[in-house]
C-alpha cells in the first residue's frame, strides 16, 4: 500500500476524469483533503498479515443458479424509453459521437 | 379510536381491530396520512401517493368484508425507501440525477407487499443513493429525529425510521449496506432487521454496493417486523444472488424464549469511546436475558477494527461501478448545453450527484485504478475474509451475538458533516455484518438521560433470522421500551 496518502490536485483531476466527473476548484480542494484523510485511515489494513488469506467477494456465497432455458417476453420499447431524456424514433437520442 | 391513537398502534393491534370490525383500512390509511401532514417537518416522505393508497385501502376493506382477507398485512399502511421501485411512482434515490425518474416496474419486495395486501403510502427520504449515516445527504432535504428534531434520525434509511417512529406508516422497508437499517432504527427507537445476504431479493432495489446491499423491514415491534420479513423473504428468479432456502414461519417461532440459548458478547464492541449510557443499557439487557435462561459469555472478533477500512474500500469500489449507469442517456436528468457526448457525461454527472456521492465514486475509482487494485481493493477483500472467519468461529460456539448498534445516540445535524471519518465511524458496529453477509437486528433497549433511544444489536448465523427474532421478542416482552412513542 502506498505510504504517502497525500492526494494531489493532479491526482484528483485524473481520477475525476476516469469517473466522468468535473469538479469545481472548491470541490477539488475538499476532495483532495477528504480522500487523503480517508486513505490515511485505510492504511491501518497494512497491520494485518493477509499473505495466506484467500480474498472473498461475498460474505455468504450466492448459490449457483440455473434456470430453464425458456424465452420470456422482455419489456417493450415504450417501457424502455419511458424515462429517456431524449428520444429519437425508437431509440435514445444522444449528442453527436463522431466529431 | 382517534386518528392520533390509531397512528401509534402496532400492526398487531391494527390487525385485531380490523378483524373485530372496529377500524377499516381506509381509516388506518387516513390516520397515517394525517400524521404525515402533522409531522411533515420531520422530512420522512419524499412522495406521498394518497389517492392510490385510499383506493388500495378500500379494496382491502372489500376483501375483508367478503371474508377474503389475505393475511396479517392486508390493509396495513406501509411505505418504502425511495430507492425501491414502485411502478408509476417517482424513484429519486434522494438524488437530483433521478429527479424526473418514474419506475416502470415494481421491485420484488414491493410487489410482494402488494400481494400481501399492504397499502403502500409512498416513498421515504434517504441519504443520496443510500450513501450516508445521517440522512443529511439527501438532495431533497434532511430528515429529523422525532425524539429531538435538532438531531439526525440516522441513515441512510432515515425516512424509513422516522415514518415508523412518528407514526406516519405502520411499518416500512429500508436497505442496509453498512448499517443503514439498524443504525437509524437504533437512533429512533424502532425495530429494524437486516436479513442475511440473499434472504431477500434485490431486484428493483437501486444498487449501491451489490455484494453488501440487503432490503429489510422496520416496525414498532419484533412481531410487526417478522410479518414484514415473512412477506418479502424468499427466492426470486429475477435476482441470481437470492437464496432458494426455505423461509421458516417467523411468527410461529417468535415466543420460544431464550432458555438454554448461548449469547456471545464481543469484547471488541465494548471499548473506550462508546457512550457510557449505551454500554450500561446493553449490560442491563444482557443481565435480563441471562435471568430468563440464556447463557452469556465473552467472545472475540479480533478483526473488528478493520471493518470500516475494508467496508469503505469495497463499498466505494462497487459504487463507482454501479453508478456509472447514470450518464444521462437512458434515464434521469441530462444536463443541457453540452458540447459532444463526453461533455454531456461530465456535465450530467457533475450537476446530478451531490458531493458525498462524488466522493465515494472518486474513492472507488481510485482504489480500482491501475497500480492500486492489489494494494487497496484486493487487500480489503482479504480483510473481509478474516472478518467473516471471526464470525464463523464465534458462531460455532454461540447461537447469537449481542452488541451495541451505534457508539453514540443520535447526534445533532451538522455535527459530523465536516469530518468524513467521524461520520464513517458511526457505522463501526454495523459494517462487519454486511461484510460477512450475516443477519442483524436492532431493537430499543433504553433511553439516555436526555431522552434519546438506545438500540441493541442481535447478530445471528447465516439464514437464522428466526433465532434473532426469538431473542429480540424474549427481550421485548420483558421491557417497556417498544411502547414509548415520540409523537403523541
Mean of all residue pLDDT scores within chain B: 96
Q: Output phi, psi for A92, to 5 deg.
A: -85, 130
d(CA B231, CA B47): 23
Mutate to test the interface with B, among A35, A42, A43, A65 (most CBs of B within 10 A): A42
Q: Which residues contact B485 (CB under 8 A, 6 or more apart)?
A: B8, B167
The percent of residues above 90 in pLDDT, for chain B, comes to: 94
Q: Which residue of A has its CA nearest to B419?
A: A34
DSSP string, chain A: --S-----HHHHHHHHHHTT----HHHHHHHHHHHHHHHHHHGGGGGS--TTPPP-S-SSPPPP--------PPPPHHHHHTT-SSEETTEE----S--
Q: What is the mean pLDDT of residues B177-197?
A: 98
d(CA B207, CA B214): 10
CA distance B345 to chain A (A): 6
For A17, the domain range is 1-48
First to last CA, chain B: 14
The band of A1, judged by pLDDT with boundaries at 50, 70 and 90, is very low
Using CA atoms, how far residue B93 sits from A74, B156, B411, in Å, is 25, 11, 23
- pLDDT, tens digit, 9 for 90 and up, residues B387-405: 999 999 999 999 999 999 9
pLDDT at position B271 is: 82
- Domain-embedded: residue A42: yes
Query: Across the interface, which of A1, A12, A27 has its CB nearest the CB of B379?
Result: A1
Chain B 64-93, residues with CB within 8 Å of chain A CB atoms? none
pLDDT at position B254 is: 98
CA distance A13 to chain B (A): 10
Chain A 20-79, residues with CB within 8 Å of chain B CB atoms? 20-23, 27, 30-31, 34-35, 37-38, 41-42, 44-45, 48, 50, 53-60, 62-63, 65, 67, 75, 79
CA distance A75 to chain B (A): 9
Q: Catalytic residues of B, which ones?
A: 81, 156, 180
Count Cβ–Cβ pairs < 8 Å, chain A vs chain B.
172
Strands B119-124 and B215-219: unpaired
- pLDDT, tens digit, 9 for 90 and up, residues A55-73: 999 998 888 878 889 998 8
- pLDDT, tens digit, 9 for 90 and up, residues B199-233: 999 999 999 999 999 999 999 999 999 999 999 99
The band of A23, judged by pLDDT with boundaries at 50, 70 and 90, is very high
The reply to whether residue B383 touches residue A54, judged by beta carbons under 8 angstroms, is no
**Is the N-terminal amide bond of B401 cis, ω within 30° of 0?**
no
Residue in the structure block whose three cell numbers are 443513493: B129
First to last CA, chain A: 41
- Domain-embedded: residue A39: yes
Using CA atoms, how far residue B190 sits from B176, B177, B250, B377, B481, in Å, is 15, 19, 19, 35, 9
The band of A2, judged by pLDDT with boundaries at 50, 70 and 90, is very low
pLDDT at position B106 is: 98
Domains and CATH numbers, chain B: 3-254 (3.90.1300.10)
CATH number, domain with residue A38: 1.10.20.60
Chain B 429-488, residues with CB within 8 Å of chain A CB atoms? 434-438, 462-463
pLDDT at position A3 is: 46
Residue in the structure block whose three cell numbers are 455484518: B433
> In the predicted model, is pLDDT for residue B116 greater than 60?
yes
d(CA B11, CA B17): 10
Interface contact B247, partner A, CB < 8 A: no
- pLDDT, tens digit, 9 for 90 and up, residues B87-102: 999 999 999 999 999 9
Please name which of A63, A96, A64, A91 lies closest in space to residue A78, comparing C-alpha atoms: A91
- pLDDT, tens digit, 9 for 90 and up, residues B21-72: 999 999 999 999 999 999 999 999 999 999 999 999 999 999 999 999 999 9
For residue B133, give the C-alpha cell.
449515516
Mean of all residue pLDDT scores within chain A: 91
Residues on chain A touching B331 (C-beta within 8 angstroms):
83-85
Contact (CB, 8 A) for B224 and B185: no
d(CA A84, CA B1): 47
Q: Which residue of A has its CA nearest to B326?
A: A20
pLDDT at position B260 is: 97
- B447 has which bridge partners? B453
Contact (CB, 8 A) for B243 and B199: yes
Q: What is the mean pLDDT of residues B470-480?
A: 98
User: How many domains are there within chain A?
Assistant: 1
- Domain-embedded: residue A80: no
Residue B471 φ/ψ region, left for φ over 0, alpha for ψ in the -120 to 50 degree band, beta for the rest:
alpha
**Is the four-CA dihedral B14, B19, B22, B28 of positive or negative sign?**
positive
pLDDT at position B3 is: 76
Determine which of A74-78, B105-109, B165-169, B323-327 has the lowest per-residue pLDDT on average. A74-78
Query: Across the interface, which of A11, A57, A63 has its CB nearest the CB of B243?
Result: A63
Residue B187 φ/ψ region, left for φ over 0, alpha for ψ in the -120 to 50 degree band, beta for the rest:
alpha
CA distance A80 to chain B (A): 8
Amino acid at each position: 500500500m502506498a505510504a504517502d496518502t497525500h492526494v494531489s490536485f493532479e491526482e484528483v483531476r485524473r481520477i475525476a476524469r476516469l469517473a466522468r466527473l468535473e469538479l469545481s476548484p472548491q470541490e477539488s480542494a475538499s476532495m483532495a483533503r477528504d480522500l487523503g484523510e480517508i486513505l490515511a485511515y485505510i492504511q491501518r489494513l497494512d497491520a494485518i498479515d493477509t499473505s495466506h488469506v484467500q480474498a472473498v467477494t461475498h460474505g455468504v456465497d450466492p448459490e449457483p443458479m440455473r434456470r430453464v432455458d425458456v424465452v420470456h417476453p422482455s419489456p417493450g420499447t415504450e417501457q424502455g424509453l419511458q424515462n429517456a431524456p431524449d428520444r429519437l424514433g425508437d431509440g435514445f437520442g444522444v449528442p453527436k459521437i463522431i466529431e | 379510536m382517534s386518528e392520533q391513537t390509531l397512528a401509534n398502534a402496532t400492526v398487531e393491534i391494527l390487525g385485531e381491530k380490523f378483524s373485530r370490525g372496529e377500524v377499516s383500512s381506509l381509516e388506518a390509511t387516513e390516520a397515517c396520512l394525517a400524521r404525515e401532514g402533522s409531522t411533515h417537518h420531520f422530512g420522512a416522505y419524499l412522495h406521498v401517493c394518497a389517492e392510490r393508497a385510499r383506493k388500495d385501502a378500500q379494496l382491502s376493506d372489500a376483501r375483508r368484508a367478503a371474508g377474503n382477507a389475505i393475511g396479517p398485512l392486508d390493509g396495513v399502511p406501509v411505505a418504502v425507501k425511495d430507492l425501491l421501485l414502485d411502478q408509476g411512482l417517482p424513484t429519486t434515490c434522494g438524488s437530483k440525477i433521478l429527479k424526473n425518474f418514474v419506475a416502470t416496474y415494481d421491485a420484488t419486495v414491493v410487489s410482494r407487499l402488494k400481494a400481501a395486501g399492504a397499502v403502500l403510502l409512498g416513498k421515504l427520504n434517504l441519504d443520496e443513493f443510500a450513501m450516508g449515516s445521517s440522512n443529511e445527504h439527501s438532495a431533497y432535504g434532511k430528515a429529523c429525529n422525532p425524539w429531538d428534531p435538532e438531531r439526525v434520525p440516522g441513515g441512510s434509511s432515515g425516512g424509513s425510521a422516522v415514518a415508523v417512529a412518528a407514526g406516519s406508516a405502520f411499518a416500512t422497508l429500508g436497505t442496509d449496506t453498512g448499517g443503514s437499517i439498524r443504525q437509524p432504527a437504533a437512533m429512533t427507537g424502532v425495530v429494524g432487521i437486516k436479513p442475511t445476504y440473499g434472504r431477500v431479493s434485490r431486484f428493483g432495489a437501486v444498487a449501491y454496493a451489490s455484494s453488501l446491499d440487503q432490503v429489510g423491514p422496520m416496525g414498532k415491534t419484533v412481531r410487526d417486523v417478522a410479518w414484514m420479513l415473512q412477506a418479502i423473504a424468499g427466492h426470486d428468479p429475477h435476482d441470481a444472488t437470492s437464496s432458494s432456502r426455505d423461509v421458516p414461519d417467523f411468527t410461529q417461532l417468535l415466543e420460544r424464549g431464550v432458555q438454554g440459548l448461548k449469547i456471545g458478547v464481543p469484547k471488541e464492541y465494548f471499548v473506550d469511546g462508546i457512550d457510557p449510557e449505551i454500554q450500561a443499557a446493553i449490560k442491563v439487557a444482557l443481565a435480563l436475558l441471562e435471568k430468563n435462561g440464556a447463557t452469556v459469555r465473552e467472545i472475540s472478533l479480533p478483526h473488528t477494527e478493520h471493518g470500516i477500512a475494508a467496508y469503505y474500500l469495497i463499498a466505494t469500489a462497487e459504487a463507482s461501478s454501479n453508478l456509472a449507469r447514470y450518464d444521462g442517456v437512458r434515464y434521469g436528468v441530462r444536463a443541457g448545453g453540452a458540447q459532444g457526448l463526453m461533455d454531456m457525461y461530465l456535465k450530467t454527472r457533475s450537476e446530478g450527484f451531490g458531493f458525498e456521492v462524488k466522493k465515494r465514486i472518486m474513492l472507488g475509482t481510485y482504489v480500482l485504478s491501475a497500480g492500486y487494485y492489489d494494494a487497496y481493493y484486493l487487500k480489503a477483500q482479504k480483510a473481509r475474509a478474516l472478518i467473516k472467519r471471526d464470525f464463523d468461529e464465534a458462531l460455532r460456539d454461540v447461537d447469537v451475538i449481542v452488541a451495541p448498534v451505534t457508539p453514540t445516540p443520535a447526534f445533532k445535524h451538522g455535527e459530523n458533516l465536516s469530518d468524513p471519518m467521524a461520520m464513517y465511524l458511526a457505522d463501526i458496529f454495523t459494517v462487519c455484518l454486511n461484510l460477512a453477509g450475516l443477519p442483524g437486528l436492532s431493537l430499543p433497549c433504553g433511553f439516555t438521560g436526555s431522552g434519546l433511544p438506545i438500540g441493541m444489536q442481535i447478530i445471528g448465523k447465516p439464514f437464522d433470522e428466526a433465532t434473532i427474532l426469538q431473542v429480540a421478542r424474549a427481550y421485548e416482552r420483558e421491557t417497556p421500551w417498544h411502547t414509548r412513542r415520540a409523537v403523541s
